Amino acid sequence: MTKTNKFTSGRFVAYVFMAVFLGYFLLPLLWLVIGSTKTNAGLFSSFGFWFDKDFNLWQNIQDVFSFGDGVFFLWMRNTAVYAVVASIGSSLISALAGYAFAQYRFAGRDLIFGVVLASVFVPTTVFAVPLYLLMSKTDLSGSLWAVILPSLISPFGVYLMRIYAEQAIPQDLIDAARIDGAGELRIFATIALRLIAPGYVTVLLFAFVGAWNNYFLPLLVLSKSELYTVTVGLAYWNSVVGPQATSIPLYPLIVTGSVIGTLPMMLVFLFLQRFWQNGLALGSIKG
């Protein structure tokens, strides 16, 4: 024990190594945050990792929200609605299904689970393009439902919930509740759901971040710019950023919009970090 507390050259090398990589992972974010305080001219003329003499953050935030009739606000709202509805819905659906796989023996169980698991390996593109075609034939294509509904289905979430339910729910407890005459749905809602809550929160978090950061599916199925999510919107600004393409220079808007669009994720991430750890341990159990 005393040996590990002593300062050694090995420890020094390890610390330097880890610190260098801490810089690698955090400096680009620092660059982004500093960039959001600059004017367009400032972005080009001042050093990227330090502030310019003009502190333009408030003006940039105003510009982000007023540009294009305030479309950025709609993008933020759409993203929030999409992420909240899709994550709550998909984690609940996954919990129900995972519980069924863990708790009951029924005809076709292994076959169905096998098919669900296999679908994790199929590239999203294979589903996404036909989804666009099918959505465009219905009324859904004009609403956020086009991106919410497919996101409710998460085969990996079902897999995680099954593993978690198998570990966390003692069979005796369920049997006892049955003998007491509790119905199956009540057993799920009052006993099982409480026991699998930590795993459930993890699946919920992954779904939330996954939806917030999703780009491919919203890009395909959302046709009108007022329906875009933040990622699709920022990518759109990036595609038209060229000189004199817009009334005001877009670079500060993209940089500041990136900060605003990422901030909710950072907060979710930092405040709920213990749940991540939890869930990642889960995924590797039966790897």
Site for another protein in 207-246 (CB under 8 A): 209, 212-213, 215-216, 220, 230-232, 234-235, 238-239, 241
The reply to whether 284 sits near another protein by the rule CB under 8 A is yes
Residues near another protein (CB under 8 A), total: 91
The reply to whether 272 sits near another protein by the rule CB under 8 A is no
Rg (CA), the chain: 24
Tokens for 181, please give them.
């005459």
The reply to whether 73 sits near another protein by the rule CB under 8 A is no
Residue 121, phi then psi, degrees to nearest 5 = -85, -10
Residues numbered 90-119 forming contacts with another protein, rule: CB under 8 A: 93-94, 96-97, 99-101, 103-104, 106, 109, 112, 116, 119
Give the integer Cα–Cα distance in Å for 235 and 255. 11
State which of residues 62, 124, 190, 225 lies at the interface with another protein (CB under 8 A).
124
| Piece in contact with another protein (CB under 8 A), picked from 51-59, 61-69, 168-176, 253-261 | 253-261
Say if residues 83 and 208 touch (Cβ distance below 8 Å).
yes
Say if residues 270 and 193 touch (Cβ distance below 8 Å).
no
Nearest residue (CB) to another protein, 225 versus 238: 238
Of the candidates 275, 259, 282, the one whose C-alpha atom is nearest the C-alpha of residue 30 is: 259
The reply to whether 121 sits near another protein by the rule CB under 8 A is yes
Nearest residue (CB) to another protein, 74 versus 249: 249
The reply to whether 280 sits near another protein by the rule CB under 8 A is yes
Residues numbered 7-66 forming contacts with another protein, rule: CB under 8 A: 10-11, 14-15, 17-18, 21-22, 24-26, 28-29, 31-32, 35, 43-44, 47-49
Q: Write the single-letter amino acid at 136.
A: S
The reply to whether 152 sits near another protein by the rule CB under 8 A is yes
Burial class (CB in 10 A: 0-12, 13-18, 19+), 146: buried
Tokens for 120, please give them.
């994790």
Q: In whole angstroms, how close is the CB of 233 to another protein at the nearest point?
A: 9
Instruction: Look up residue 222 and give its DSSP letter.
Output: -
Give the integer Cα–Cα distance in Å for 152 and 143. 16
Q: Write the single-letter amino acid at 27.
A: L
State which of residues 130, 170, 186, 248 lies at the interface with another protein (CB under 8 A).
130
